[in-house]
Structure 1
Amino acid sequence: MIKIRFKNVSIAILLIALLTGSCTEDIIQEEPRGVFTPEFFQTELGVQGGLTFLYERLRDVYGFAYFLNLGETGTDEYCAAQSANNNFFDLDLAGQGNLRPESGFSIGRPWGASWPAINTASGIIENAEAVGLDESLIAEAQFFRAFYYFLLVQTYGGVPLDLGSGELAFNQSAVRTSVRNTVPEVYTRAIIPDLIAAVDNLPDNPRLTGTVTKNVARLYLAKAYLTYGWWLENPNGIPTYPDTPRTDPDGNGPSYYFQQAYNLAVNGIENPGPYRLLDYFYDVHVGSNDRHEEMMLYSDRTETSAIYNGGPLTGFGGTDGTNTAVWMVTSNYTTISVDGVAAVQREAAQSYGRPWTRMAPTIGVFTQTFTNKDIDSRYDGTFVTSYRGNWDKGGDETPTITAANGLEIEPGDAVVSFLDEYDPSVSYVNGGNIGGGEISGRSDYVINLNEINRRFYPGLWKLGTYRTDNQGGLGEPNVGNTRPFPIAKYSEFYLVAAEAAVKGASGSYTARDLVNVIRARAGMWRFDNGEQQERIEDNSAAMVNATPAVIDIDYILAERSREFFGEGYRWYDLVRTQKWNEYASSYEIGGNDASDHNPTVTTRTIEPYHYLRPIPQTQFDRMDATEAEKAAYQNPGY
């Protein structure tokens, strides 16, 4: 049993969404509603409303700034930046914070967001037959119950299957006690059976734009098999909790689950349904192309409705459901002053947005992960590598300003650029507001990527702001991003199958075959983001030829980072494969001043118990239990 924070002994929902099939657009329609009562679930309208809540609930996790922090800070991808506070220091594990159950907004987000969704899904499943709900709609609820249990078990270890009314039953009462199930119980009694049912009964094509399908369920079942296989194998002896033998109740070993993951992922590749790999990595992330065929699941937003967006559209700030993740990884480019002009101003555009400077990419990202920057388009399609003048959009009519080397630049020209390749001739001449250097003949200030600091670094273009209502000005850069936040992409099928193959699974495709599909696409260019100009090149053969003959787990993890960098995957990837300490026990970056181009090595202390996050303190605040019982409920080490 578990205490879930409900109102009026029912499911508390600030925004309830009602599914309709009669709308003029084939999308999920949302309507505010104060509360779900148990009786409401016993109507077709109530069950369908509960389904829409499950989609709406995604906004409380994916795009939430501190969930990105949870999945990225402390890994080889991101560290604490110049404006970080304890929400970020705690997760960076570098001595400035202390990871604990009270650790800010990040630790408790998966826990708090998942239980209402799980209970709602159980309510739908229990009442579906009585109201004559179609089997495919029941499968949507089964998918989401498994989806959230999978998120929980990866984050915290074993979690409760009984919320107060019996295992996987809809709970209608306020319960203040809780018992955690083991990891194998959660996988074999909840996640895997629900996902198998979802694969069997979901349609090939989405019922409405953005709803789940058979192939979405295949991807998550493959990921669950893969993750459970690693858990059973436990190559580095990482402890689990609740403590239990690393054995499967059905008697299957890790190799069985790796093979199942491979089979499901290959099945998804060979039966794509409405999904496909886009021709260019750039098109996967350019804001004008959102909700495309490669995007299988996303938490949706919009610039046309504050209700459907989950947050305000104008002004300043946002709410819990607002997509503010990219703010955390955006350095404060707005301090760039050139020739007395605020050259680069906040703009509601993909390379800009609101800068919070909480998380900075480590130097290793640019020197070890993204090495083939000239032919691999994923570096260019991931980062902001040039900040360009937009003072005209802010109302300053100055036609040109004097920049590096005394040369003139116009609006749209690069003001500061990060160099793809190290240039020892860079002379850092600019002080605190840019920290940039000069190279003879260039009008833009430049910074070597192996000399970045916590204050000024490449932003995350792929998740950047995109709006269509700027009307030639700076637009609305101070409210949350109105773009959908990516959760699952078709490209992941290839890397899941490749990882399973590395772990011994066999079939029609080798790990190298599968990885090379992704790498070949990465070699295709149609636009150079850094130079802001068309670039038609096919480097796919060079990318394939550069792939090692033998693929190991380290190469898979490198490809996953190149493909999904900064999207919240990394901590989960490193924990699954038990590579976290090996990859992230130290990192290199400069200090907090823009002019600091002398990076130092920071050491992290990553203990085995850190491979599970602490159960948040809010859970214990709501439990009726002795101190000893609470201590036994908490993950060891916290």
Structure 2
Amino acid sequence: MKPIQIKTFMVTAIITLFLGACSNVLEEEPRSIFTPEYFKTEKGVVGGLTSMYAHLRYIYGQGYYYNTTETGTDEATYAQSADANFKDMDLSGVGSITPSSSRSDAIWQPAFFNINTANGIIENAAAIGTISPAMIAEAKFFRAFDYFLLVQTFGGVPLDLGAGELKFNTSPVRFSVRNNVPQVYTKAIFPDLLTAVNDLPDTGRVKGGVTKTAARLYLSKAYLTYAWWLKNPNNIPTFPETPRVDPDGHDAAWYFQKAYDVAATAIDSHGSFALQPTYYDVNLGSNDRNSEILLYADHTEKSEFYNASSLTFANGGAPDNFAVWMMTPNYTVIRSSGVSSVQREAEQHLGRPFVRMCPTIGAITNTFTDKTNDSRYDGTFTSVYRGNWDKAGITTPTLNNANGLPVAPRGAILSFLNDDNPAVAYAAANGSVGAGVLPGRSDFVINPSGISRILFPGLWKLGVYRTDGGTGLGQPNGGSTRPYNIAKLSELYLIAAEAAVMGATPQGGKSARELVNVLRARAGKWRFDNNGNVPKTADNSAALTAATPATIDINYILAERSREYFGEGYRWYDLIRTQKWTELSSSYKICGPTYGDHTAVTVNRDIKAYHYLRPLPQQQFDAMIMTPEEKAAYQNPGY
């Protein structure tokens, strides 16, 4: 299939509220605004569809938006170098979420620009006569995709952008009315995704293009999310206020069943997609764009033009892919024989340290309890930092490290242990970072209970991967040129399992336990010890599947989701969907922000019911001509 090659241009149009679409088209000039006439040409439809794939870069991989999906959950908290962007999201007394500080603003404008582009294609493309239903279905997929993201984040949002519900708008609009949640689902998300399931092909129009399987994943997830919204087990408020009643007369149980049925169909009929044989292969940089990935925000190291950002430096904003910086510790401060033994490198374990977010101790010790049989811890984190000083031109063949023992390049310099070892002795001078030592070991070590806001395992799965660095350190300070994975085939198993737990009638061979065990069996298969940096052939599938509880509850599903998708931007949405955020994230353990601090403390969060929706961004209100009373009524309560 021909790959999508996208150059992204920021909109320079008359931006006020919701108007012209995001202007980035394949091999075309920048456009300040799209018109109906433009979408009545093949060139216009292809350009509009290309811009839809490009708009994903403005959301996925954007580090500050990424923070809003993880910080404040049981997976992550703010790290030593965090500013207010991160401390506000933690809700632990060091900041507060406001319309100005919530970085969910990163989805508001790109999503509505894209929705308007979709409206233009859907309204006008049929007039051409040569545009296939499948191409129009791509536009419908993305319109539903963006509305689904918006409704989960903010509650009800406008379907009318100024020209009528789901109509293409070309005029500046400074007044807006929000639709309620059921209207967004039943008027926009469900109809568009049902059309996409029907009309999209099994294999994408272009490499990375949306497919029937991707549409089924989002339809099943939308059904699942809406079912939870109708059920509302913890009486979480919605906005705009409306009864939890489906306009089509269905109840939560009906939607849980629909979520199960659609996901089960996709599992049985997944086209050219397939699960990777091992968890390591899913996120391995050299295996990007593999058969498990249903949708990604693409980047490339081959061309700055098509990467849409520099290959050598980063601007710290979209469309750069810089999310992984956030959960990368400053490993470069480690000293061996007075030398910086682990230096920045464009290699998946390393990359650019930013120290803005860190995993909680509970994520390491409770979520990833079994680090021996289950490969997902090893396939998620960088837990061993290895020497690379030779790539920086330092010719010394060995350096003295822990216990004065020599280490050669590629040897372990600092290791985070899988389990606490009471024999670990910490000292301020160890590696200049206050790490620990164990007798006979040449690597400095840190217990899981000693993970802190400044020293923690980094996020290998999103790590930088470059092939253009030769034998040196490459370009570790640029944004990642890897695609940012958005949707995976594996999630269909967990969507169906969650629906079954919530009462959906399962099909034979697809009970919640059987579905979960498909992924657990895969997690037990090793072909490489990532942090040991050696091949490893092991199959612990039997042990992992046997350990799965006979009866699975929603907390177990959420734990499995965290093991599969830790740090990928799923967690806040998973917790608000199931209304488990308060229960699972109201406290966490972490050590302090200084080197040598390995004493864990318990931190409490104050998660209010209104926090289950993010505030609409302040720039939205600054652009609207409405009375103060109308603006207050437009904003989500609590903000």
Shift of 1:435: 2.2
Output the amino acid matched with 1:158: G
The 3-state SS of whatever aligns with 1:629 is helix
The 3-state SS of whatever aligns with 1:593 is coil
Residues 318 and 479 of structure 1 are in contact (CA less than 8 Å); yes or no, is this contact kept in structure 2? no
For the residues of structure 1 that align with 2:213 and 2:29, how far apart are their CA atoms? Answer: 30
Counterparts of 1:516-595 in structure 2 under 5 Å?
Answer: 516-595=517-596
Residues 6 and 174 of structure 1 are in contact (CA less than 8 Å); yes or no, is this contact kept in structure 2? no
Alignment partner, residue 460 of structure 2 = 461
Counterparts of 1:18-97 in structure 2 under 5 Å?
Answer: 18=26, 30-38=27-35, 39-97=37-95
Q: Are 1:608 and 2:609 counterparts?
A: yes
Residues 22 and 55 of structure 2 are in contact (CA less than 8 Å); yes or no, is this contact kept in structure 1? no
Instruction: Report the CA distance shift for 1:624/1:288 in structure 2 as closer, same or farther (over 3 A).
Output: same
Shift of 1:11: 2.5
Residues 317 and 478 of structure 1 are in contact (CA less than 8 Å); yes or no, is this contact kept in structure 2? no
Output the amino acid matched with 1:101: P
1:124 to 121, 142, 146: 121
For the residues of structure 2 that align with 1:119 and 1:433, how far apart are their CA atoms? Answer: 54
The 3-state SS of whatever aligns with 1:541 is helix
For the residues of structure 1 that align with 2:28 and 2:418, how far apart are their CA atoms? Answer: 48
Alignment partner, residue 22 of structure 1 = none
The 3-state SS of whatever aligns with 1:121 is helix
Counterparts of 1:194-209 in structure 2 under 5 Å?
Answer: 194-209=192-207
Alignment partner, residue 477 of structure 1 = 476
Alignment partner, residue 226 of structure 2 = 228
Counterparts of 1:275-354 in structure 2 under 5 Å?
Answer: 275-354=273-352
Alignment partner, residue 376 of structure 2 = 378
Structure 2 gaps, min length 5: 1-9
Shift of 1:367: 1.2
String of CA shifts for 1:529-572, please: whole Å, max 9, x gaps. Answer: 11100000000000100000000000000000000000000000
The 3-state SS of whatever aligns with 1:184 is helix
Output the amino acid matched with 2:447: N
Residues 11 and 32 of structure 2 are in contact (CA less than 8 Å); yes or no, is this contact kept in structure 1? no
Q: C-alpha root-mean-square deviation of aligned residues, in Å?
A: 1.3
For the residues of structure 2 that align with 1:337 and 1:131, how far apart are their CA atoms? Answer: 65
Residues 404 and 442 of structure 1 are in contact (CA less than 8 Å); yes or no, is this contact kept in structure 2? yes
For the residues of structure 1 that align with 2:328 and 2:477, how far apart are their CA atoms? Answer: 13
Structure 1 range deviating more: 308-317 or 397-406? 308-317
String of CA shifts for 1:44-84, please: whole Å, max 9, x gaps. Answer: 10111000000000000011101210100000000010000
String of CA shifts for 1:183-213, please: whole Å, max 9, x gaps. Answer: 0000000000000000000001111100000
String of CA shifts for 1:248-305, please: whole Å, max 9, x gaps. Answer: 0011000000000000000000001011111000000110000000001000000011
Q: Are 1:17 and 2:18 counterparts?
A: no
The 3-state SS of whatever aligns with 1:558 is helix
String of CA shifts for 1:143-184, please: whole Å, max 9, x gaps. Answer: 000000000000000000000000000011101000000000
Alignment partner, residue 6 of structure 2 = none
Structure 1 range deviating more: 39-48 or 457-466? 39-48
Alignment partner, residue 246 of structure 2 = 248
Residues 12 and 34 of structure 1 are in contact (CA less than 8 Å); yes or no, is this contact kept in structure 2? no
For the residues of structure 2 that align with 1:319 and 1:394, how far apart are their CA atoms? Answer: 28
For the residues of structure 2 that align with 1:61 and 1:125, how far apart are their CA atoms? Answer: 23
Shift of 1:121: 0.3
For the residues of structure 2 that align with 1:156 and 1:357, how far apart are their CA atoms? Answer: 28
For the residues of structure 1 that align with 2:426 and 2:198, how far apart are their CA atoms? Answer: 61
For the residues of structure 2 that align with 1:286 and 1:569, how far apart are their CA atoms? Answer: 19
For the residues of structure 1 that align with 2:435 and 2:386, how far apart are their CA atoms? Answer: 14
The 3-state SS of whatever aligns with 1:360 is strand
For the residues of structure 1 that align with 2:113 and 2:504, how far apart are their CA atoms? Answer: 37
TM-score (norm 1): 0.96
Residues 142 and 195 of structure 1 are in contact (CA less than 8 Å); yes or no, is this contact kept in structure 2? yes
Output the amino acid matched with 1:611: Y
For the residues of structure 2 that align with 1:280 and 1:31, how far apart are their CA atoms? Answer: 41
String of CA shifts for 1:419-456, please: whole Å, max 9, x gaps. Answer: 01110000012438322111011000000011111001
Residues 388 and 411 of structure 1 are in contact (CA less than 8 Å); yes or no, is this contact kept in structure 2? yes
Alignment partner, residue 25 of structure 1 = none
For the residues of structure 1 that align with 2:89 and 2:134, how far apart are their CA atoms? Answer: 40
For the residues of structure 1 that align with 2:12 and 2:395, how far apart are their CA atoms? Answer: 55
Shift of 1:35: 2.8
For the residues of structure 2 that align with 1:220 and 1:154, how far apart are their CA atoms? Answer: 13
Alignment partner, residue 505 of structure 2 = 506
Residues 312 and 318 of structure 1 are in contact (CA less than 8 Å); yes or no, is this contact kept in structure 2? no
For the residues of structure 1 that align with 2:180 and 2:393, how far apart are their CA atoms? Answer: 60
Shift of 1:37: 2.9
1:403 to 370, 376, 401: 401
Structure 1 gaps, min length 5: 19-29
Shift of 1:310: 1.9
String of CA shifts for 1:492-542, please: whole Å, max 9, x gaps. Answer: 000000000000011221100100000000000000011100000000000
Q: Are 1:356 and 2:357 counterparts?
A: no
Counterparts of 1:380-395 in structure 2 under 5 Å?
Answer: 380-395=378-393
Output the amino acid matched with 1:469: D
Residues 6 and 12 of structure 1 are in contact (CA less than 8 Å); yes or no, is this contact kept in structure 2? no
Q: Determine what percentage of the aligned residue pairs are the same residue.
A: 58
Output the amino acid matched with 2:486: I
The 3-state SS of whatever aligns with 1:250 is coil
TM-score (norm 2): 0.96
2:111 to 109, 114, 131: 114
Output the amino acid matched with 1:499: E
Shift of 1:319: 4.3
Alignment partner, residue 152 of structure 1 = 150
Shift of 1:40: 1.8
For the residues of structure 1 that align with 2:74 and 2:29, how far apart are their CA atoms? Answer: 41
String of CA shifts for 1:556-615, please: whole Å, max 9, x gaps. Answer: 000000000000000000000000000111110001012100010111100000000000
Alignment partner, residue 412 of structure 2 = 414
Shift of 1:8: 4.5
